[in-house]
Structure formats: structure tokens, C-alpha cells
Structure 1
Amino acid sequence: MTRADQPLPDARPDNWVDRHAPVQWRPYLRLARIERPIGSWLLLLPCWWSSALASGAFGLYPDVWHLMLFIVGTVAMRGAGTTYNDIVDRDLDAQVARSRHRPLPAGQVSAKQALLFLIGLCLLGLCVLLQFNRPTIILGFSSLIIVAAYPFMKRIMPIPQLVLGLAFAWGGLVGWSAIAGSVDTPAILTYAAAILWTIGYDTIYALQDIEDDAIVGIKSSARLFGARVRQGIAACYAAAAVLVFGALISAGAGLAAYVGLALFAAHLAWQVKSLDPANGDLALTLFKSNRDAGLLLFAGIAADAILRAG
């Protein structure tokens, strides 16, 4: 198997990119993490939460068109973000076992080729963003400052996951704004909840790299929490659940939304209970399971919106 054909360590070995995509496309699809869709899910879910929450608050059915646009937009912008991150981090990635076979450190694409790919993804994201109202367009552009700053934070901040959370949770504002044309208390609380959720799940993810990160000087919440990593993740998850509870109250949500929250919180508690900080494979599995946790919450909020609009 050539390096261009070799699946990355945290991708499923049977993923469609490595099995079916043309070989010349694979480095670009890997730059965008298409073979690892969990990142797109985690970026998408706060958009869906707040969109469904806003729909319920205004007595509307969930806006399926918005939900579909968010899918396209998050795939494009997550791909742009990971490509940008790989351009910035290509020297560091070469020193970390899990990332040294990424397209840039492996020499499968040049920095110039990656930059052109990044521009193309940004243009696709712009086309999606322009489908929304003016406040949402402004919000979308505002997030670029945080996205641009994130790759550098792991060099200077003890908890760079906070900046990642500020970026990945942005959909908590955007989804609501796309319906309401404003950013109101439920959106702010949803955004804050998604930030803490992101810190929690990305701390689990960072457990895979904790030894290499210490060697090359990359900072992370997993390193910061140290022996108390389980307690740190539990605190982030508990605070996220409390903030979602506040968002539901402020949006006047009904019973179905609270059932979704209860299932979400139970899933997060299961993750904390199951965690073994020394088991990198388990950490990856638990990290990926956050898609299911987020979908449980969305299902409850969306069901509540449908019941209230009916």
C-alpha cells in the first residue's frame, strides 16, 4: 500500500475515501477530513439545536431547508478549517505519530495546493452563508477570526480547547439567528453549552496524543487536567447540560425537549464513567459517540418544535 493509499490512524479502515475515491483526490479529501465525518457532525449539531429551538419558540416547524444548508456549510467550513490547521501545523504534525501521515507532512500535496483547496472550500461556504438573512451572514463572517486564531493557541494556551469551542459552538448562535434574525438569550445559552461540550469531548480526543504533545510542546486540556482529567471532563459536561436546561427554559420548550436533554446528559455521564485515560482507542470511540449524544438532544428539541407547531 502506498502512502497515498494508507488510511490515517483515526479513520475507519473501510472508509469510502480510502476504498473508492480516485487516488489523486484522496489527499484533498483527507485534508477536508471527509473520511472522518465526526468533526462535521460536531460542528453541525449546535446549528441544528439552536435552529430547532428557535423554530419551537416561534411556533414553527423545524426549517428543513436551513437544516440542509447547515449540512453543506459545515462540511465545507470544517474542511476549510482542517486544511488551514494542517497548513499551519504541518511541521508539528510531522512529529506526532497520529498526524505524521497527513497529506502535508507526508508530502502528498504542497502548501500551495492546500491553500488553493482551502480557497475553494471557503467559496462554497460563502455560497451557503449568503442564503441566510443579514444578521446571520454577519455572524458567519465574525467566526473567521476565531477559526484563524485556533491553530496557534495550542502553542500558547494551557487549554486551547476553549478556542476550539468558541469556533465549533458558533452554530448555537447561527441556527437561532437564521430563524429569529437576532441573537437572544436561548442562543447565547446554547452557544455557551456547546463550548463546554466541545472542551469536554476534545479533552477525550486529546488523550490519544498526550505523550507526543508533551514531547513537542503542544498544550491541551488533557495535559492541563492531568490526573484529574475525568473530573475535568465531568465538570464540562455537567455545566453544558445545565446551560442547555437554561436555554430550554428561556425558549419556553416543552416536555419532548427535556426528554432529549435527559438522554443527552445520560450519554455524557456514560462517557465519563467509561473513560480510561490510558486507553487511546477507547478515547477515540467515546469522542466519536458525541454524534449520538448530540443527535439525541436535537431529536428532543425538534420533536418539541413539531408538537408545538402542530
Structure 2
Amino acid sequence: MTIPNKNDQFPRRSTSHVLRDLLRLSRFDRYNPLFATFAGVWSTLLAGAEKLADDRTSTSYVFISRQTFLCFLASYIFCGAGMVWNDWIDRDIDANVARTKDRPLAAGRLKTGEAMLWMMVQVAVSWGILQIMLSGKDVWSVLLPAAVASILYPYGKRPLAQRFHLYPQYILGFTIAWPAIAGCAAIHNQKLSFGEIAHHCLPLCTMIFFWTLYLNTAYSYQDVVDDRKMGVNSFYNLAGKHIHLFLVMLATTVLVCIPLFLRTLGSLWLWVTWMGVWTVYLMRQLLRFDGSQPTSGGTLHKENFLLGVWTVAICMVEVFLRAGNAPMHISVFA
């Protein structure tokens, strides 16, 4: 009689296969983690543009670009760690959902110990990057709230959370918006306190929070059939049959928030391009969304990613214009 080997579940794998699955575990083979970078990148660029507007000699385009890259890197890698934690907690649920059953932990291609080690490496690297970006000041104030939210996120999907009207999108929205504070601190933390920076970033964080609620609710709606069978808690449960109206309300809140954080810059062209393009794109998405076809939420997710990339581009142009002192900054809020 053959005695079963406890390692039979994990057949011998090449290093390249393990590395490939670790990258997939962090979603580094997809565009999803880039969503976590938008808040920090936008905030760094906007803070840099604002500082250049106050005094062109107080900073430089090179410094702002460096800080933006470091904020992008820290956010991207830390998001990868959060993805690992999410998949580790949800591995049994993921194994029963068509869209997620092939994930490395759900499919049994990676050991939990390998996943945890990979997660800790990513957290350590993110912490090191923040140390450089913030010159050692307020690093834990920036890192800990995001870490706590990332830990709590998968538990927000459990039925128990629904009893307290706590949905995972609330936690995700906070986690995605929080890097805006890191981005602003990358420019201003030597002169402003952490509390002042957080207050300054509140309008931008609010906009990103509701944007995340909007796009993630639409995206996760793809799994509505499987999720309801397993009792998975999600924000679309609050909407019920009125999912389309619910998304309209969230998108409207996003658009209302945009002028609030652009006001301090007094840049007419930035206000028109940001507000104008976002309004057109969100309206088009809402017109195409069909509550009777859950898969229609997938296209909203991809389009919002492109919207985020486009916004990075216009923020970079704003910094460039400020650095060159171009006469294109006429206040629309006078």
C-alpha cells in the first residue's frame, strides 16, 4: 500500500513557475494594482503644481517627478501585498467563484507560507520607499492606516459585516484614497504637520473614495449570481434592484467633489479638462450599464482605469506649465 505524501498537493515546481504565480497573486500581471497608485500620483503632482505656483524657486520639476515616482512605486507594491492578503483570506470563497477559481492560492498552486513571505517582502519594500520619499517623517502615520484597512478588507465581505451595514467597498475606498495623503506629504511634509496635510487632502480623498465605490460596485456586480449563492457581502446589496440609479448617485457625487480640490489651484484649463472629460465618460458609462447584464460592469472598470491614466497625464502637464510659468492659469473660482 502506498502512503500518501502530504506534499502531493504541491508537486515540484520550477522557480519560474513559482515566481509567475507570486506575480499573479499580487495582480502584477494585470492593470488592477495601478488603481491604487492614482490617488498618490495625482496628489503629488497637484501639490507640486501648487508649490510652484506659490514660489517657483521653492521646488523643481525634477524633485516633483522623483517624489511622484516614489509614491507610485510605494503604492503599487503595497497594493500587491494587499492583494496577497485578500486572496489568502478568501481562498476558499475564490475556489467556488467562476471568475476567481484559477487564482494561485484558490487553485492550490502556491503554499500559504510562500504567499505570506511574499506579502511581507512587499510591505518591507514599500516601507523602505516611504522612508526615502518622506525623509523618515510621518512614515508610520502614512503606512499604518492603509495596512489596517487592507487587513480588514476581506472580512468586510462576510455576512457578519452586513449586519453592521459595513461593506468592503467602504474599506477599499479608504485604502485607495489614502495614498493622496502620502503624495501631498511627499511635497509638503517638511513644512506642514501631518494633520494639516490630511485636512488639505480631504476633498481629493473624498472624491477618490466615491469614485472607488462607483467603479468597484460596478465591477464586483459581475459576480452577483455566485456571491448571492454564497452570501458574500457587497455594496450592490444595498442597491438591490436599483443598482443603476445607485451608480448614478455615486457618479454624481464624484463630479460634485472635483471642483472642491481643484479650487486652490485656480487653473481654468485643468478644471475644464478634468471636469469635462470625467463628466462625459461617466455619463457614457452609465448609459451603457445594464443591471440585467452583470458583465456590463467589467467595461466600466477598464474605462475608469483609462480615465485615471488620462488624469495623470493632465496633472503632469499642469506641473510642466507651472514650472515654465505659462500664463494659462486664470481662476475660474474668483
Question: 1:43-63 deviations in whole A, cap 9, x for unaligned?
Answer: 111111111111121115551
2:150, 2:75 → 1: CA distance?
13
Residue 217 and residue 61 in structure 1: after superposition, are their counterparts in 2 closer, same or farther (change >3 A)?
A: farther
Question: 1:122-149 deviations in whole A, cap 9, x for unaligned?
Answer: 1111121111221355212332111111
- Aligned identity (percent) is 25
1:139, 1:280 → 2: CA distance?
36
Residues 1:52 and 2:52 aligned together: no
CA contact (8 A) 1:256 1:301 kept: no
1:224, 1:186 → 2: CA distance?
31
| CA positional deviation for 1:108 | 0.2
| CA positional deviation for 1:298 | 2.9
CA contact (8 A) 1:268 1:293 kept: no
CA contact (8 A) 1:185 1:247 kept: no
1:261, 1:86 → 2: CA distance?
36
Residues 1:266 and 2:280 aligned together: yes
CA contact (8 A) 1:150 1:164 kept: yes
Other-structure match for 2:270: 257
Other-structure match for 1:242: 256
CA contact (8 A) 2:43 2:183 kept: yes
Other-structure match for 2:4: none
1:257, 1:174 → 2: CA distance?
22
AA aligned opposite 2:35: L
Residues 1:303 and 2:317 aligned together: yes
- Could you state the TM-score of these two structures normalised by the residue count of structure 1? 0.87
| CA positional deviation for 1:260 | 2.0
Other-structure match for 2:143: 140
The CA RMSD over aligned residues, in Å, is 2.0
Question: 1:221-258 deviations in whole A, cap 9, x for unaligned?
Answer: 12221221122112112212221210011x23302321
- Could you state the TM-score of these two structures normalised by the residue count of structure 2? 0.81
1:61, 1:240 → 2: CA distance?
31
CA contact (8 A) 2:33 2:79 kept: yes
2:50, 2:321 → 1: CA distance?
12
Residues 1:27 and 2:18 aligned together: no
AA aligned opposite 2:126: G
| CA positional deviation for 1:196 | 0.3
What 5-or-longer segments of structure 2 have no aligned partner?
1-9, 53-58, 325-334
Runs of 4+ that moved beyond 4 A = none
Residue 243 and residue 185 in structure 1: after superposition, are their counterparts in 2 closer, same or farther (change >3 A)?
A: farther
- State the SS of the aligned residue for 1:130: helix
1:238, 1:61 → 2: CA distance?
36
1:178, 1:168 → 2: CA distance?
17
CA contact (8 A) 2:244 2:286 kept: yes
Question: 1:130-171 deviations in whole A, cap 9, x for unaligned?
Answer: 112213552123321111111101111353201110011112
Alignment of 1:280-295 (within 5 A): 280-295=294-309
Specify which of 36, 40, 44 is matched with residue 43 of structure 1: 36
Aligned length: 289
Question: 1:184-233 deviations in whole A, cap 9, x for unaligned?
Answer: 54411100110000000001111110011111111111222122112211
1:205, 1:171 → 2: CA distance?
22
